Chains A and B, each alone.
Chain A
């Protein structure tokens, strides 16, 4: 890792350009009033916002700049209504009522557009370079893959955006992260992202937007860029982005909600928002990934990760508060310092989520699982109806089902377990999701290890953590 510090402020970056284009004015507090060009919503963080509007007798002046979908609480097997879980039913029905009352765009539950918000919205072509996009969800930073300035907001802020199309904010600093080298076989965008987080730490990005660039990012597909940007927030950065290029424009061409008649004009505009060649950053860091191997997290936050060749750090390698925290993580996870994770048995494998629920992720998992049997419960959850249809067209559903996996309907599923898909007791899971926090997968004592789709698939096949590269 190489650091370049400057005492300059960012200038002429995509962040600066998009921020400036959306600035309405400076509020009496000194904060910036910022215009929101795309407002995305889901069922969990929006009901109270609509209620706040009703309380104040406000309407939404720009309803068509907002699109909503239900994903967090929806069951991934039986979608018949009412849902068996009455809270999930009430919450979903509330969203359906609200989008109707406020006249917002809605991807209905059983339509071919339903899915995990951060999978389906980009896939439908709603997210474009240069947009300022918000959602009451921290993984909104996923849309940065398109060169949009995108970040999560709270429910009160959702009500502000609904009522005024604006919100009060302070500008972030911009850190350029150059990802250099040549990525090895079996190493994915997920591993790169987890490596960045363990290098810069989970709080390294506090106060920053991350601009990801360099030869590795240039060569990434949109799916890979989405995985990378999705995890920016796990490194503390509220927003992360990649400058738009031909990969971005080619992806958007022909997508249902992408510009049609004005496509060429749009491309010109999109290209113009990329960071200029003389852009200045608050700081720059280079991370070389040539020697990177697949990563498995061992602890209770995403920076606590090791490669398949490394051992869990010894307790004595930590000191002070970090030592207490490592010990706490060891106890919770039921592991010890100096052990290897390869060969450690797991109970459940989860393949899906807004991090790794796209077609290319399922393709990687299918590549390893094809023709084999899984040894543990393995949930494969397509990120959207479109991903599911695409996967079925390619026969992945058959590969997964023949291997003994569960092939489920699109939703957030076991990433955060606000639905029936949960760990039980202290089950250990290998998960392609984004958070290994305590209790994250639905059991207060459940143990989550974050991995790539390749590693998840190899682990499913062996019933214990495995290096996926021997299968590739």
Chain B
């Protein structure tokens, strides 16, 4: 099989401090309200991340984890069940990425959001409710401690703890061999694409 490794895109682990955001069913309207999506580039999305939760009457709510000084600079977001549900807007993971998020550990992800994260190089992994609860407690007590999301060993590591994480094997491999930006590998199989196009009956119905 052809080798499609793009070396500089290899992501085998993400390490950094973490941001606790444990609620379940956080939707992409929470992450970025639709009224901020009227720009034709993603450039400014970072400053809109969780905008309606972070500000009230133009004033910053200091307790919000995206404002709280102790979590500033965090690159690993820790969330609950069904993270990123709702709209397919890539503006949501773009906003998180531009805010500085490089990995998300959640109990589960909404499908479209998870796919969007993968195509941006944001590592999304899942852990059990119990592991998430322990991790959240640890982060709240030790906000400046580094967390490591290790895709090779499939573990999240902090202090002396190593907890198991899950990720779709295809996605894990895409990060490990640097092909998460799928366009390059999708372009390779021109013959295969042509064959499906020729065999699908409905493309020729008149």
Tell yes or no: A157 within 8 A of B by CB: yes
The answer to whether A167 and B24 have CB atoms under 8 Å apart is no
Which one of B71-79, B157-165, B187-195 is at the A interface? B187-195
Q: Which residues of B contact A (CB under 8 A)?
A: 1-4, 22-25, 27, 29-30, 33-35, 37-42, 52, 80-82, 85-90, 93, 108-112, 115-116, 119-120, 168-171, 173-174, 177, 179, 182-183, 185-187, 189, 192-193, 195-197, 199-206
Q: How many Å lie between the Cα of A137 and that of B203 in the bound state?
A: 23
The answer to whether B52 and A29 have CB atoms under 8 Å apart is no
What 0/1 pattern do residues 432 to 449 of A give for CB contact below 8 A with B?
A: 000101111010100000
CB neighbours (8 Å) of B93 from chain A are 154
The answer to whether A35 and B35 have CB atoms under 8 Å apart is no
The answer to whether A138 and B177 have CB atoms under 8 Å apart is no
B88 touches which one: A45, A165, A170, A416 (CB < 8 A)? A45
Number of inter-chain CB pairs below 8 Å: 220
Pick the most buried of A62, A151, A155: most chain B CB atoms within 10 A of its CB. A155
CB neighbours (8 Å) of A65 from chain B are 203
Pick the most buried of A35, A37, A167: most chain B CB atoms within 10 A of its CB. A35
Q: How many Å lie between the Cα of A257 and that of B203 in the bound state?
A: 12
Known A27-B182, A51-B41, A137-B87; 9 more pairs at CB < 8 Å: A29-B174, A44-B38, A153-B112, A167-B182, A262-B206, A325-B25, A417-B34, A418-B35, A438-B52
The answer to whether B183 and A164 have CB atoms under 8 Å apart is yes
Tell yes or no: A88 within 8 A of B by CB: yes
A206 touches which one: B30, B80, B82, B195 (CB < 8 A)? B82
Contacts A/B (CB < 8 Å), 22 sampled: A25-B189, A28-B1, A28-B179, A29-B173, A31-B171, A31-B174, A33-B185, A37-B203, A48-B40, A94-B40, A138-B112, A160-B182, A164-B186, A168-B174, A169-B115, A202-B25, A203-B82, A206-B82, A236-B110, A321-B22, A437-B30, A442-B34
**Smallest CB-CB separation from B187: which chain A residue?**
A164
The answer to whether B116 and A156 have CB atoms under 8 Å apart is yes
Given the known A-B contacts A33-B186, A261-B206, are A24 and B88 also in contact in the complex, defined by CB atoms under 8 Å? no
What 0/1 pattern do residues 42 to 72 of A give for CB contact below 8 A with B?
A: 0011011001000010000010010000001
A24 touches which one: B33, B177, B192 (CB < 8 A)? B192
Q: How many Å lie between the Cα of A23 and that of B116 in the bound state?
A: 21
Instruction: Give the bracket for the number of chain A residues in contact with chain B.
Output: 35 or more
CB neighbours (8 Å) of A438 from chain B are 29-30, 52
The answer to whether A35 and B196 have CB atoms under 8 Å apart is yes
CB neighbours (8 Å) of B41 from chain A are 47-48, 51
CB distance from A248 to the nearest CB of B (A): 14
CB neighbours (8 Å) of A169 from chain B are 115
Tell yes or no: A136 within 8 A of B by CB: yes
**Smallest CB-CB separation from B111: which chain A residue?**
A238
**Smallest CB-CB separation from A328: which chain B residue?**
B23
Given the known A-B contacts A45-B89, A128-B202, A164-B193, are A156 and B120 also in contact in the complex, defined by CB atoms under 8 Å? yes
Q: How many Å lie between the Cα of A152 and that of B27 in the bound state?
A: 15
Tell yes or no: A227 within 8 A of B by CB: no
The answer to whether B192 and A25 have CB atoms under 8 Å apart is yes
A35 touches which one: B38, B115, B197, B204 (CB < 8 A)? B197
- 10 A-B pairs with the lowest CB-CB distances in the bound complex, closest first: A203-B82, A154-B116, A152-B88, A31-B170, A154-B90, A259-B205, A87-B38, A47-B40, A138-B88, A155-B90
CB neighbours (8 Å) of A131 from chain B are 202
Given the known A-B contacts A87-B38, A167-B182, are A152 and B112 also in contact in the complex, defined by CB atoms under 8 Å? yes
Q: How many Å lie between the Cα of A262 and that of B39 in the bound state?
A: 43
A154 touches which one: B27, B37, B119, B189 (CB < 8 A)? B119
The answer to whether A21 and B200 have CB atoms under 8 Å apart is yes
The answer to whether B88 and A444 have CB atoms under 8 Å apart is no
Q: How many Å lie between the Cα of A444 and that of B95 in the bound state?
A: 18
The answer to whether B206 and A160 have CB atoms under 8 Å apart is no
The answer to whether B196 and A206 have CB atoms under 8 Å apart is no
Tell yes or no: A166 within 8 A of B by CB: yes
Tell yes or no: A269 within 8 A of B by CB: yes
CB neighbours (8 Å) of B204 from chain A are 262
The answer to whether B179 and A29 have CB atoms under 8 Å apart is yes
Given the known A-B contacts A165-B197, A418-B38, are A153 and B115 also in contact in the complex, defined by CB atoms under 8 Å? yes
CB neighbours (8 Å) of B192 from chain A are 24-25, 33
Report A230-257 residues with CB < 8 Å from chain B CB. Answer: 233-234, 236, 238
CB neighbours (8 Å) of A160 from chain B are 119, 182-183, 186
